[in-house]
Amino acid sequence: MLLNATDIHKTFQTADGPFAVLRGVSLTLAAGDTLALTGESGSGKSTLLHLIGGLDVPDQGQIMLDGVDIAALDDTGRAALRRGTVGVVFQQFNLIPSLRVIDNIAFQARLAGQHDAAWCAELADRMGLKPQLRKYPEQLSGGQQQRVAIARTLAPKPKLVLADEPTGNLDEATAEVVLSLMLDLVSETQAGLLMVTHSDRLAGRMVRRLHLARGQVA
Amino acid sequence: MTGAVFAALTSHWWRNPLQLFTLLAGLALATALWSGVQAVNAEARASYDAAAATLGEGQFDQLLAEGGGPIPQATYIALRRAGWLVSPVVEGRLNGVRIVGQDPLTAPGGLGPVTLDQGADIGAFLSGQGQIFGTQEALDQLGDIDADPVLSPDVAPGTVITDIGVAQRLLNQPDQINRLLIAPRQPLIQTALEQAAPDLRRQPAQGGSDIGRLTGSFHLNLTAFGLLSFAVGIFIVNGAIGLAFEQRRPVVRTLRALGVPLPRLIALMAVELMLMALLAGVAGVMLGYLIASLLLPDVAATLRGLYGADVAGTLQLRPVWWLSGLAIAMGGTAMAAGGAFWRLARMPLLAGAAPRALAMAAGRRAVLQGVAAIILLIAALLLGITGNGLLAGFAMLACLLIGAALALPLLLDRVLALLQLRAGEVRAAWFWADTRQQLPGLSLALMALLLAMAANVGVSTMVSSFRLTFTGFLDQRLASELYVTARTPQEAAALQSYVAPKVEAILPIQSAEAQIAGFPTEVFGARDHATYREGWTFLTAAPTPWDDLAAGEAILINEQLARRSGLAVGDIVTLGATPLTIAATYGDYGNPIGQVIITEPLFARLYPSETPLRFGLRMDPAAVPDLVQSLAKDLSLPPDQTINQARIKQFSLDVFDRTFTVTTALNVLTLAVAGFAILMSLLTLAAMRVPQLAPAWAMGMTRAQLGRFELIRAVLLAVLTAMAALPLGLALAWALLAIVNVAAFGWKLPMFLFPLDYLRLLVFALIAAALAALWPAWRLSRTPPSDLLKVFSNER
């Protein structure tokens, strides 16, 4: 099993006191599998994604990713995990504004020490970004920026792709094109895909679906 | 990974060249002002040290002729035979260059700065023709002489060193010596000086260069100015780094999310900054060299005129100086970036988990800043009231300036909030609210402006007060229209008889040395005359000081002696065996030692062997040139034995004006740096301002109106800052005059106010702020509507 998360708990301190975002969530994901994580705002979807991506640590529970317990890793260990094993597609793209498109696509692969120029070129080509390679992110539309972000995530060929509402900022038609491309590429690389979405239509494109409500699997 | 991250970080600067320029230029300017001033100081100090080493002044006891004339060479030989380890010195001027002749075999300090590895061949040095050592300037000025010139850059400016025989030949002083240096170690058995050489007197070592002490005040002020200029520059750097970090915050978060470890990220950002600091430091040191080479001739002229110190008019590139310039650039960058790095290290990876974290952190920072400002200002007040000594003075200055700078944004925010509350019209209310919102981005530039203006007010008040006091002091001290010096007591007697019918009064100037309250003191005997009674002002005095003095029961003491010994009016001191009541204390600026005045008859009784040779003559100023001519004709008194008071005063004022050239140049430069800080802050903020201004534009305000508002805002903030800078500058002046000066030199200068100067400064500051805001405002008024619309199309 690529991912095995068991009994995950996470609580944040707020002005009104402690707020339990996740209360004993468990899930599994195999290589090549796709899973949609749905739920209302505040149900804990993004928090769960961040914990699986090693961006945060759970208060309780175990997350085994490719045989490694993420919760047991220190900061440096989790950073190494984010560089190579996991790729995250953010809703806000999070591109580096001062780098050109071509450098943004290659960036994470370079960080992971797995840069493959031919693969990056193919990703750019299939994402329809070839004419934009010399441009800066601010010169692209939202859809184009999200395609750059997806290409950047897939460039080091991660074992697990986490996507946090990757089409949330795009119109319906563009969202459809972007999602199709992402699914094709994930399928080809045999990566697992875990996608947070509000959209039933997009969730229907995944193999499996997990619905969260008030921090628990519904 | 390192290469990719470093490339991503540095790419920010290529996409934001203006920010890069701000950072580099701010740091380069700060380094330039600091290292420029340090270069001037270092050059002057090196000149004093070279002078002290060359002339042996201050280091060794010396023997001088009683009457001040030359010493026969036979006396030197007699002393050596009597067991005295002394070394002869011959000195004089040729073609305007000071020639110092020494004996390398007996001189206790060797040949001062000249060493054998500099080409000094002891054989050639002592041979008939001999060698002569000096700087290129001095050797050129000396012209063609009968000795081999050897270039020696460490010899004091305007001075050459040679063998004693060569000096005697060049100066035409056969068998004559000017003074004898006494070696520190002497044989246990030697004939007493009174027997071996009764015509010589021993002058003790002074433990340091007189010149160094006298010029200390001038250099202290320059250093303080350099430090303030550097602080202003560091504010710019801090602002630029802060803005750059703020803009790069999302990138840093992305890099961390993509797997870059935080320690690596911080290390790479530190390396990036240090490389920039090095680059800016090199540019700053070069610029500093340029500033120093422009200022040095004025400083050299000032020091020569004011203190008689010879300082080289050209600059040398000393390794210590440029290395310290680079070090301060890098240290300043580290200081300016410390806060930004601290925030970066504590920044949460997931901002989403605490969306108000930044705003809350800003609020907490404001509270901390306010608390720190209050603590520093209270510390400054306490140090001002109770502090004593130079360290306390500088600590007070630092607390005052940093505290005031920290308090400024909070003060401005409160003022703007009040104005916002009172605004009746909707556009005015928006203007004040928008100004408040812009304040954090501009606060560092405004702090820089505050410091620059306060430094301007403070230093110009101090210098102008000094000028006013010194002019008054000159009027008091140089009251006589003509000063004449006789060469012998006989000539003095003839002189008095000759001038008596031609002048209104003859005021003898006579002095002796004494110990009062354990301090070496000059004792002056003054004639009871209206010149003193009417012209002198006292710092503190008994009701009738001159009557008490005339009665032979009182004494007047200078401020230095009063402060060092703790003596005050009404105290009794003993001179010889005579008890005298202190009737007054007087200002004696520039004099490093204690001085007292007693009445003429008492002086004659206490020092019967002293005959006055100098006289001040009160007379019609128009008759001075004729009297000088007739003295030369009838009494063969050479013109250099007479000093025209008007000429001295004019010379002193000229010297002051050159001093002002230096301080004015530094004033203007510091203000320009602050103006630059505002310009750069506004330009950097301009791009961030579009999302704030686009809604106002969309709701019906024109781009021209928005541009005008930007201009008005900058000028208004400058006015508010100037209002805070005035009291701060006056406090700075007070601290310099009443604390630092007293601690450093023993005298307190009265403080005067110069409202017109302050008004002029305000106008300059407003012009600087308006000029700085003009370009950003113009750019804003020309922002294409498409750019403003982007704000809405990008909204998510």
Nearest to A94 among B14, B257, B263 (CB): B257
Residue B413 pLDDT greater than 80, yes or no: yes
Check B352 against A110: CB less than 8 A apart: no
CATH H-level superfamily of A29-56+73-217: P-loop containing nucleotide triphosphate hydrolases (3.40.50.300)
User: Would you tell me how many other CB atoms lie within 10 Å of the CB of residue B220?
Assistant: 18
| Mean pLDDT to the nearest integer, B585-598 | 81
Residue B263 pLDDT greater than 80, yes or no: yes
Q: State the pLDDT at residue A62.
A: 92
| A64 Cα to chain B: minimum distance (Å) | 18
Q: Distance between CA atoms of B244 and B26, rounded to whole angstroms?
A: 14
Q: Comparing A133-137, B367-371, B739-743, which segment has the lowest mean pLDDT?
A: B739-743
Check A55 against B250: CB less than 8 A apart: no
Q: Distance between CA atoms of B11 and A96, rounded to whole angstroms?
A: 9
Residue A76 sits at the chain B interface (C-beta within 8 Å): yes
pLDDT digits (tens, 9 = 90+) for B325-350: 888 888 888 887 887 888 888 877 77
Is residue B772 very low, low, confident or very high in pLDDT (cuts 50, 70, 90)? confident
Q: State the pLDDT at residue A46.
A: 87
Q: State the pLDDT at residue B473.
A: 76
Q: Which long-range contacts (CB under 8 A, 24 or more apart) does B431-439 make?
A: B431/B709, B431/B712, B431/B713, B434/B692, B434/B696, B434/B709, B434/B713, B435/B713, B435/B716, B435/B717, B437/B692, B438/B685, B438/B689, B438/B713, B439/B409, B439/B412, B439/B413, B439/B717
Check A111 against B260: CB less than 8 A apart: yes
CA dist B579 → A78, B528, B609 (Å): 88, 20, 21
Q: Distance between CA atoms of B427 and B692, rounded to whole angstroms?
A: 14
A-B Cβ pairs (cutoff 8 Å, strict): 76
Q: Distance between CA atoms of B210 and B69, rounded to whole angstroms?
A: 22
Q: State the pLDDT at residue A65.
A: 92
DSSP-assigned letters across all residues of B93-140: EETTEEEEEE-TTT-TTTTTT--GGGT--HHHHHSSS-EEEE-HHHHH
Q: Distance between CA atoms of A151 and A178, rounded to whole angstroms?
A: 11
Check B1 against A82: CB less than 8 A apart: no
Residues B120 and B231 in one domain: no
- Pick from B654, B336, B194, B291: nearest CA to B470: B654
Residues B596 and B720 in one domain: no
pLDDT digits (tens, 9 = 90+) for B434-460: 888 888 777 877 888 888 888 888 878
Q: State the pLDDT at residue B371.
A: 92
Residues in chain A with CB shorter than 8 Å from the CB of B244 are none
Residue B55 pLDDT greater than 70, yes or no: no
Residues in chain A with CB shorter than 8 Å from the CB of B20 are none
- Alpha-carbon Rg for chain A, nearest whole angstrom, is 17
Residue A161 sits at the chain B interface (C-beta within 8 Å): no
Q: Which residue of A has its CA nearest to B260?
A: A79
Q: Distance between CA atoms of A58 and A50, rounded to whole angstroms?
A: 10
| B264 Cα to chain A: minimum distance (Å) | 10
Q: Is B24 within 8 Å of B279 (Cβ atoms)?
A: yes
Q: State the pLDDT at residue B745.
A: 67
Residues in chain A with CB shorter than 8 Å from the CB of B691 are none
Residues 6+ apart with CB under 8 A from B162: B99, B100, B101, B102, B125, B130, B131, B132, B133, B147, B170
| Mean pLDDT to the nearest integer, A149-163 | 91
Whether residue B245 lies inside any domain: the answer is: yes
Q: State the pLDDT at residue B315.
A: 62
Residue A80 pLDDT greater than 90, yes or no: no
Residue-wise burial string across B129-141, b where 16 or more C-beta atoms lie within 10 A, e elsewhere = ebbbbbbeebbee
Residues in chain A with CB shorter than 8 Å from the CB of B250 are 94
Rounded to two decimals, the ipTM of the complex is 0.82
Check A83 against B258: CB less than 8 A apart: yes
pLDDT digits (tens, 9 = 90+) for B395-408: 888 899 889 999 99
Q: State the pLDDT at residue B170.
A: 85
- Judging by beta carbons within 10 Å of its beta carbon (0-12, 13-18, 19+), is residue B77 exposed, middle or buried? exposed
Start-to-end Cα distance in chain B: 33
- Judging by beta carbons within 10 Å of its beta carbon (0-12, 13-18, 19+), is residue B40 exposed, middle or buried? buried
Q: How many Å separate Cα A57 from the centre of its chain? A: 16
To 5 degrees, how large is the angle CA B597–CA B598–CA B600? 120
Better pLDDT: B337 or B687: B337
Q: State the pLDDT at residue B355.
A: 35
**3-state SS class at B167:** helix
Place of tokens 């199309």: B793
Q: Comparing A49-58, A194-203, B732-741, which segment has the lowest mean pLDDT?
A: B732-741
Is residue B268 very low, low, confident or very high in pLDDT (cuts 50, 70, 90)? very high
To 5 degrees, how large is the angle CA B356–CA B361–CA B363? 100
Residues in chain A with CB shorter than 8 Å from the CB of B14 are 98
Check B257 against A46: CB less than 8 A apart: no
Residues B669 and B763 in one domain: yes
| Mean pLDDT to the nearest integer, B273-281 | 91
Better pLDDT: A45 or B299: A45
Q: Is B637 within 8 Å of B488 (Cβ atoms)?
A: no
Is the Cα dihedral A150, A152, A157, A160 positive or negative?
negative
Give chain B's domain count. Answer: 3
Q: Are strands A86-89 and A160-164 parallel, antiparallel or unpaired?
A: parallel
Q: Which long-range contacts (CB under 8 A, 24 or more apart) does B783-790 make?
A: B783/B690, B783/B703, B787/B690, B788/B690, B788/B693, B788/B694, B788/B697, B788/B698, B789/B694, B790/B690
Q: Distance between CA atoms of B351 and B246, rounded to whole angstroms?
A: 14
Q: Where are the domains of chain A?
A: 29-56+73-217
**Amino acid at residue number B562:** A
Q: How many helices (H) and strands (E) does chain A have?
A: 7, 10
| A162 Cα to chain B: minimum distance (Å) | 12
pLDDT digits (tens, 9 = 90+) for B505-541: 999 988 888 888 877 788 999 988 888 888 888 889 9
pLDDT digits (tens, 9 = 90+) for A161-184: 999 888 877 778 778 888 888 888
Q: How many helices (H) and strands (E) does chain B have?
A: 24, 20
Q: Distance between CA atoms of A156 and A158, rounded to whole angstroms?
A: 6
Residues B506 and B414 in one domain: no
| Mean pLDDT to the nearest integer, B261-279 | 91
Whether residue B227 lies inside any domain: the answer is: yes
- Judging by beta carbons within 10 Å of its beta carbon (0-12, 13-18, 19+), is residue B584 exposed, middle or buried? buried
Domain boundary among B563, B597, B619: B619
pLDDT digits (tens, 9 = 90+) for B553-577: 899 998 888 888 888 999 998 887 8
Residues B486 and B449 in one domain: no
| DSSP element (H, E) containing A131 | none
Q: What DSSP character marks residue A139?
A: G
Q: Comparing A14-23, B258-267, B457-466, which segment has the lowest mean pLDDT?
A: B457-466
> B78 phi and psi, to 5 degrees?
-65, -40
Residue B418 pLDDT greater than 60, yes or no: yes
Check B259 against A83: CB less than 8 A apart: yes
CA atoms within 13 A on the CB side of B344: 30
pLDDT digits (tens, 9 = 90+) for B543-559: 999 999 999 889 999 88
- Pick from B283, B223, B11: nearest CA to B663: B223
Residues in chain B with CB shorter than 8 Å from the CB of A79 are 256, 259-262
Whether residue B257 lies inside any domain: the answer is: yes
Check A97 against B258: CB less than 8 A apart: no
Residues in chain B with CB shorter than 8 Å from the CB of A82 are 257-259
pLDDT digits (tens, 9 = 90+) for B335-389: 878 878 888 888 777 754 333 444 455 667 778 888 999 999 999 999 888 877 7
Residues B259 and B357 in one domain: yes
User: Which chain B residues touch A if contact means CB-CB below 8 Å?
Assistant: 1, 3-5, 7-8, 11-12, 14-16, 250-251, 253-263, 349-350, 352-353, 796
Q: Distance between CA atoms of B110 and B54, rounded to whole angstroms?
A: 9
Check A98 against B11: CB less than 8 A apart: yes
Check A56 against B258: CB less than 8 A apart: no
| DSSP element (H, E) containing B453 | helix B426-477
Better pLDDT: B578 or B37: B578
Nearest to B350 among A56, A81, A107 (CB): A56
pLDDT above 70 coverage of chain B, percent: 82
DSSP-assigned letters across all residues of B329-367: HHHHHHHHHHHHHHHHHH--S-GGGSTTHHHHHHHHHHH
| B1 Cα to chain A: minimum distance (Å) | 4
Domain containing residue B538: 482-619
Check A107 against B4: CB less than 8 A apart: yes
pLDDT digits (tens, 9 = 90+) for B134-157: 888 788 888 887 788 888 776 776
Residues B296 and B438 in one domain: yes
Check B251 against A97: CB less than 8 A apart: yes
Q: State the pLDDT at residue B110.
A: 61
Residues in chain B with CB shorter than 8 Å from the CB of A136 are 15
Helices A75-84 & B262-307 angle (0-180, nearest 10): 110
Residue A13 sits at the chain B interface (C-beta within 8 Å): no
Q: State the pLDDT at residue B354.
A: 39
Range ranked top by mean pLDDT from A132-141, B57-66, B738-747:
A132-141
Whether residue B472 lies inside any domain: the answer is: no
Whether residue B85 lies inside any domain: the answer is: yes
Residue A214 sits at the chain B interface (C-beta within 8 Å): no
Q: Which residue of A has its CA nearest to B14?
A: A98
- Pick from B600, B596, B757: nearest CA to B663: B757
User: Would you tell me how many other CB atoms lie within 10 Å of the CB of residue B576?
Assistant: 12
Start-to-end Cα distance in chain A: 23
Check B260 against A79: CB less than 8 A apart: yes
Place of tokens 């519904």: A218
Q: Which residue of B has its CA nearest to A75?
A: B261
Give the mutation candidate from B6, B254, B264, B266 for the A interface (greatest A CB count, under 10 A): B254
Q: Distance between CA atoms of A2 and A168, rounded to whole angstroms?
A: 27
Residues 6+ apart with CB under 8 A from B675: B449, B768, B769, B771, B772
Residues facing A163 on adjacent strands: A89, A195
Q: Which residue of A has its CA nearest to B16?
A: A98
Range ranked top by mean pLDDT from A83-92, A204-213, B758-767:
A204-213
Tokens of A17: 């006191």
Tokens of B717: 């903030």
Residues B460 and B328 in one domain: yes
Q: What DSSP character marks residue B569?
A: T
Check A113 against B1: CB less than 8 A apart: yes
Tokens of A79: 């950073």
Q: Distance between CA atoms of B719 and B657, rounded to whole angstroms?
A: 30
Nearest to B261 among A76, A103, A110 (CB): A76
Residue A176 sits at the chain B interface (C-beta within 8 Å): no
pLDDT above 90 coverage of chain B, percent: 9
Residues facing B505 on adjacent strands: B618
Nearest to A79 among B11, B251, B261 (CB): B261
Nearest to A98 among B15, B259, B263 (CB): B15
Whether residue B105 lies inside any domain: the answer is: yes
Residues B413 and B486 in one domain: no
Q: State the pLDDT at residue B353.
A: 36
Residues B535 and B602 in one domain: yes
